[in-house]
Amino acid sequence: MSKIDEYAAKRSRKDPEFAQAVQQDNINLEVAVKIRDLRDKLGLTQREFANLVHKPQSTIARIENGSMNTSTKLLSEIAQATNQKITIEFTPVS
């Protein structure tokens, strides 16, 4: 475990709001990586991918840079539009 992970775990035990923020950031990062990998696998630009899933390119950019809390509804729409399965795994901060 890295020093930053140790710090996050220690502070999370003391501060529930911090723990929730860390957990959301971890989820956002996992989603960002999965969506970017999917787009790369399909060989599409952000704009092409956005057109395929019927969303603005800016939405895809926000997902991929981890700044968007992506809903399960949106992930489902992306999965259906691309005919792909999207599995998100994350470890809650302890």
Host domain of residue 68: 3-82
Count the neighbouring beta carbons within 10 Å of the beta carbon of residue 19: 18
Please list the rounded mean pLDDT of every run of 10 residues in the chain (94 residues): 89 93 92 97 98 98 96 96 90 63
Residue 94 is encoded by which pair of tokens?
A: 């302890």
Q: Answer whether residue 65 is part of any domain.
A: yes
68 alpha carbon, distance to own chain's centre: 8
Q: How many domains does the chain have?
A: 1
Q: Answer whether residue 24 is part of any domain.
A: yes
Q: Answer whether residue 89 is part of any domain.
A: no
pTM score, two decimals?
A: 0.85
Q: Answer whether residue 87 is part of any domain.
A: no
Q: Which CATH number covers residue 58? A: 1.10.260.40
Q: Answer whether residue 14 is part of any domain.
A: yes
Q: Answer whether residue 25 is part of any domain.
A: yes
Q: Answer whether residue 93 is part of any domain.
A: no
